[in-house]
Amino acid sequence: MNIHSTPKLTAAETALIDAFGERFSELPGDATVAVKRDDAVEALKAGLPTRRVEAWHYTDLRRLLTNVPGYDSTLAARAKPALLAGSTVLPVLNGVSGAGASIDGATVTRLVDKLLDGSFAPALGPREPADTVGALNTAFVADGYFIDIAAGAEIAAPIEIQNVQAGGQTHSRFPVRVGQGAKATIVERQTGAGNALTSSISHLTLGEDAELLWIIVQDQPDGATCLSQFNAELAKGSRLTLFFMNAGSKLVRQEIRVRMPGEGADFKLRGINLLSGDTHCDVTMMLDHLAENTTSTEIVRNVANGAAKGVFQGQIKVAKDAQKTDAKMACNTLLLSDEAEFSTKPELEIFADDVACGHGATVTEIDRNHLFYLMARGIDEKTARGLLVKAFVAEIIEELEDEATVEVLEGILDDWFAEHV
């Protein structure tokens, strides 16, 4: 924390600011949106965060963000088949939403319309000075979907948000409102081709007693940069399971921000990071227990190979009024190569006394006893290791109840192992 001087802007910073100058007139939105964009760019001009900003301690964005391709409307991205059979797919291709689908019990609106009429402006803007993803996205956001699920609706078919890149720069938002007592599954895919720069922000408001499973699968190509944010607010008695799997990109920053102001709400986070090559993948969770009897469990499993660097920051805050909170977090990592690295910062900030909170973090090798057991049964070491590493992450997937979903996700796992381990 030495002398503060205004730093010279990096090439990436300059490229972003220039891009804004060029794109500004084409970006959708009324005056209120324009003001938000302007403010956001001012924030970016102060420079991208370095590791001195605590929230970015392990991800020096200023140094790591080097890939800033321009926006290119001529690039074509093609929609993919749904991850889970029978899903309703809502594609955003190279940053542009499709016509929107009709779903029983839900209304889907293109986000561009909500920017144009200004109704989405209040949700824009960085949440705090360190919210660089929020600032970047606010400056450039052009489209996405707003999904509104009616109270009491039980939507059996998963709704898939398919954010497909073609190599340029795209910025999208996905607000989702789930009415009281409703039930649904949402799949968010961050995928595509080319070395795109993506920022993608979703906002979930979960009504009282609603139940939602949200699955994020990120498998962008090796050169891509994926900056994303998942925001959720959980009302009384609601239950959210967030499952994520990162299996691609060169630079990933995935922020998960969950607030639980409703009594008795429950949050489960299950995540898998499959890291290879020279990926830098940072998952940062900020969880606020704000009401009584709220519960949460978070399990993140990481496998790092090659020269990959992984980061998990998990902050659990328990407010003074959130008595009887029960929160448990675990982050377990296997490093498979000499050059792989993993850093973790599990954090507890607790102001209520009647709580049971805990976290555990391990970075280990494969359990030698298990390895011995398998080898004693005649399995060669390499195969045995492979089995054990895969089992280490597959455990998380198997917790999901739906068999078809488990099968699809294990398929991704198998593909990744086949290619990278």
Partner 1 sequence: MPAVQETIEQVRNIDVDQYKYGFESFIEMDKAPKGLSEETIRFISAKKGEPDWMLEWRLGAFRRWLTLEEPTWARVHYPKIDFQDIYYYAAPKSTPGPTSLGDVDPEILKVYEKLGIPLKEQEILAGVQKPTDDGEASDNVYKSGRVAVDAVFDSVSVVTTFRAELAKAGVLFMSMSEAIKEHPEIVRKYLGSVVPTTDNYYATLNSAVFTDGSFVFIPKGVRCPMELSTYFRINEKNTGQFERTLIIAEEGAYVSYLEGCTAPQRDENQLHAAVVELVALDDAEIKYSTVQNWYPGDKDGKGGIYNFVTKRGDCRGDRSKISWTQVETGSAITWKYPSCILRGDDSRGEFYSIAVSNGYQQVDSGTKMIHLGKNTSSRIISKGISAGHSNNTYRGQVSVNRRATNARNFTNCDSLLIGNDCGAHTVPYIEVKNSSAQVEHEATTSKISDDQKFYVMQRGIPEEEAIALIVNGFVKDVIQELPMEFAVEAQKLIGISLEGSVG
Q: Which of 351, 372, 380, 381 binds partner 1 (CB under 8 A)?
A: 351
Q: Which of 84, 348, 379, 412 binds partner 1 (CB under 8 A)?
A: 348
Q: Please state the length of the chain.
A: 421
Span near partner 1 by CB under 8 A; candidates 99-107, 126-134, 166-174, 354-362: 354-362
Alpha-carbon span 35 to 394, nearest angstrom:
46
Q: Which of 1, 31, 99, 418 binds partner 1 (CB under 8 A)?
A: 1
User: Which residues have CB under 8 Å from 306's CB, separation 6+?
Assistant: 275, 276, 277, 278, 279, 337, 339, 340, 420
Tell which positions 29-68 bind partner 1, by CB under 8 A.
54, 57-58
DSSP structural state of residue 182: -
Contact assessment for residue 224 and residue 165, using Cβ atoms and an 8 Å cutoff:
yes
DSSP structural state of residue 56: G
Q: Which of 7, 70, 129, 358 binds partner 1 (CB under 8 A)?
A: 358
Residue 152 gets the label, from left (phi > 0), alpha (psi -120 to 50) or beta, of left
Residue 73 lies near partner 1 (rule: CB under 8 A): no
Q: Which of 72, 347, 395, 410 binds partner 1 (CB under 8 A)?
A: 347
Alpha-carbon span 177 to 180, nearest angstrom:
10
Contact assessment for residue 63 and residue 49, using Cβ atoms and an 8 Å cutoff:
no
HSE of 167, CA atoms in CB hemisphere, 13 A: 7
Residue 363 lies near partner 1 (rule: CB under 8 A): yes
Residue 284 lies near partner 1 (rule: CB under 8 A): no
Residue 3 lies near partner 1 (rule: CB under 8 A): yes
Tell which positions 186-215 bind partner 1, by CB under 8 A.
none
Minimal distance in Å, beta carbon 349 to partner 1?
5
Tell which positions 310-339 bind partner 1, by CB under 8 A.
320, 323, 333, 335-339
The candidate with the shortest Cα–Cα distance to 291, out of 328, 236, 240, is 236
Span near partner 1 by CB under 8 A; candidates 16-24, 138-146, 261-269, 362-370: 362-370
CA 38 to chain CA mean position, Å: 25
Q: Which of 26, 31, 86, 353 binds partner 1 (CB under 8 A)?
A: 353
Contact assessment for residue 397 and residue 409, using Cβ atoms and an 8 Å cutoff:
yes
Q: Which of 23, 80, 127, 345 binds partner 1 (CB under 8 A)?
A: 345
Q: Which is nearer to partner 1, 58 or 140 (CB)?
A: 58
Minimal distance in Å, beta carbon 331 to partner 1?
9
Residue 26 lies near partner 1 (rule: CB under 8 A): no
Judged by CB under 8 A, the number of residues near partner 1 is 41
Of the chain, the end-to-end C-alpha distance in Å amounts to: 40
Contact assessment for residue 310 and residue 345, using Cβ atoms and an 8 Å cutoff:
no
Alpha-carbon span 417 to 234, nearest angstrom:
35
Minimal distance in Å, beta carbon 128 to partner 1?
16
Q: Which of 48, 61, 340, 384 binds partner 1 (CB under 8 A)?
A: 340
Alpha-carbon span 218 to 298, nearest angstrom:
19
Q: Which is nearer to partner 1, 72 or 326 (CB)?
A: 326
Binding positions for partner 1, rule: CB under 8 A: 1-4, 54, 57-58, 320, 323, 333, 335-365
